[in-house]
Structure 1
Amino acid sequence: MPVRFTQNIASARLEPYRRRWLVQGGGTPSDAAIAAMYAWQTSLAGAWFEVIGHIEVLTRNAIDNSLRDWNLTKGFGPDWIQTPHPDLARIIGPRALHDIERQANSAQRQRTQGHPRFGAPLSHDDYVAQLTFGNLTAILPIRPPNRARLGSGYSPREHLWRNGLRNAFPGLYDVWQNKRWARVGYAPVPGDLIPAYALASAFNGCVASGTEWATTNRHSWSDTPTVTRTP
């Protein structure tokens, strides 16, 4: 990155990079060194979010395919967002369903006349496109319930995993041969549910990656750690 680029950035923005250099490398950094450090950090952030983007699309579609089949077998059709089974509707929650619909409508209004679907009605795929890691996490079991209070021994989210979602990730169970992945951080859960809780934990981590990961890694680099976009 040319030094003249960083010359246009406020010194307050670059000062944390200079402090980091002094701590890690010693000596007074040159302008070229600061420019290189700044470029490296922004490139790292860009690469990270690229991977997260691919993961989000793949997991979103895997869950969608499974819930289409599950909702259909329950007699409510494949559109599990617009016409969800009552159990699924309670799990997702009315506020989340409303937000998904609102965001889909907003995306529809932003289509220009050159868009291939300009003026087309919203489809199930339009709603699926609005799902975030937060939405996906809310579908999965997050905290183990008090099983003594449950007649079946399973919570609604656990039932959904066992009957509708576990086949969305057919290779997931093989991962648990490595026991460190089975540490979900909560009370013991039945073996067939460990992947569900760990997946929810991973999704939470991806949600945090948009805020906590970025701000943690920028905290020592920037005086404005709440900014998560790549400069």
Structure 2
Amino acid sequence: MVGEMLGGLSDARVRSYRMVIVGETGRSADSISDRSVQSLYLWQSAIASAWYEALSVFEPVLRNRIDASLRSWNQAQSSTEDWLENPARPLRKVVERMATDARNAAERSARRRPRNHPRFKAPVTLDDRVSQLSFGNLSALFPLHPPANRADFATGFSAKENLWIHALVSGFPGLTSKLVERHRSSISPPVPAQVEDGYAVAVALEQLRRLRNRVSHQEQILNVDHQERLTDMYALAHAMSPQTLGVMKKMDRIQRTLLLRPQY
């Protein structure tokens, strides 16, 4: 029977989809068929799947670019590339907690390796710890909230702003002014030109992080501005690795799926 799968979902979950259709059509909830609700629910699953696929390509590239930039910068500052265990200032105060979490997670993962694993009993490396960093850990490295009083900082810049200026910016060589233009209104109060790009990257990553978390937890993403998020992801991919962007565009299912959204 059409709509039968809705019986396996909670009433609250089904109602949330029904009310989306009510909001789009102006019709009463009682007049919305289970067929319509189920079609919207299945479309939501399809667009979430398309996003998960795209983000699974984007996130490792983001992690690699950040890691490469910070290894190089940390080596120059403190004679070691290990920016998690031996971070130089101003990175030290930014990564302390995530470094501990990454180390603990990497050690747990190492203990679970079976005897036939090629790295059975091998010591945990920086690569192992970096691989444990979440999207949220990565996005948290960027300046998102401008300081209220720059006079509090000797350089006039916060730790994350200095990290952008001296290290992270090198991971985004292809960044264009278009990203800043799109997100300038979200950066408040206004920030110095030297860090505007960093804030634009931070805003874009934070919005992608929220989307990624909703996708991972099977939460509703019907009200997301999918085209805006896709534009951000593509802009960041181009800034980091144009070759990766080319692959992402070829495999993209997001835009195709958006065209298939049910109409009522």
Q: Please indicate the TM-score interval, normalised by the length of the shorter structure.
A: 0.7 to 0.9
What is residue 181 of structure 2 aligned with on the other side? Answer: 179
Cα distance in 2 between the residues matched to 1:73 and 1:86: 12
In 2, Cα distance between equivalents of 1:151 and 1:17: 52
**Among 22, 43, 48, the residue aligned to 2:46:** 43
1:160-205 CA-partner distances (Å, limit 9, x unpaired): 21111111101113435x7233334211211121111111122222
Residue 113 of structure 1: SS of its match in structure 2?
coil
The offset of 1:56, in angstroms, is 1.9
CA distance in 2, matches of 1:136, 1:117: 26
Q: Distance in 2 between matches of 1:170 and 1:20?
A: 41
C-alpha contact (below 8 Å) 2:94/2:141 kept by paired residues: yes
Cα-to-partner distance string for 1:5-61 (whole Å, 9 max, x where unaligned): 716614625454445456546645254x44433221111112122223322211111
Instruction: For 1:36 and 1:158, locate their aligned partners in 2 and report how far apart those are by CA, in whole Å.
Output: 46
Query: Is residue 138 of structure 1 aligned with residue 102 of structure 2?
Result: no
Q: Is the 8 A contact 2:44 2:220 kept in 1?
A: no
Distance 2:160 2:19 in 1: 47
Once residues 11 and 157 of structure 1 are traced to their aligned partners in structure 2, the CA distance between those partners, rounded to angstroms, is 43
Matching of residues 46-85 of structure 1 within 5 Å? 46-85=49-88
Residues 30 and 104 of structure 1, relative CA distance in 2, 3 Å threshold:
same
Identify unmatched segments of 5+ residues in structure 2.
224-264
Residues 5 and 78 of structure 1: is their aligned pair in 2 closer, same or farther, counting only changes over 3 Å? Answer: farther
* In 2, Cα distance between equivalents of 1:28 and 1:160: 52
Q: Greater shift after overlay, 3-12 or 59-68? A: 3-12
Q: C-alpha root-mean-square deviation of aligned residues, in Å? A: 2.9
Equivalent position of 2:5 in the other structure: 6
Match of 1:217 in 2: 221
Q: Is this contact kept in 2: 1:22–1:29, CA < 8 A?
A: no
Q: Secondary structure at the match of 2:221?
A: helix
1:121-145 Cα distance to aligned partner (Å, 9 max, x none) = 2111111111122222332222222
Cα shift at 1:102: 0.9
Q: TM-score, normalised by structure 2?
A: 0.69
Are the aligned partners of 2:90 and 2:160 in contact in 1 as well (CA < 8 Å)? no
Identity percentage of aligned residues: 33
**Contact preservation (8 Å) 2:110, 2:124:** yes
Cα 1:17–1:162 shift into 2, 3 Å: closer
Which amino acid in 2 is paired with 1:50?
A: E
* 1:96-135 C-alpha deviation (Å, 9 max, x unpaired): 2211111111222232334332322211111111112222
Q: How does 1:167-206 map to 2 (within 5 A)?
A: 167-176=170-179, 179-206=181-208
| d(CA) in 1 for partners of 2:2, 2:115 | 42
Amino acid at match of 2:121: G
Identify unmatched segments of 5+ residues in structure 1: 220-231
Counterpart of 1:113 (choices 111, 115, 119) is 115
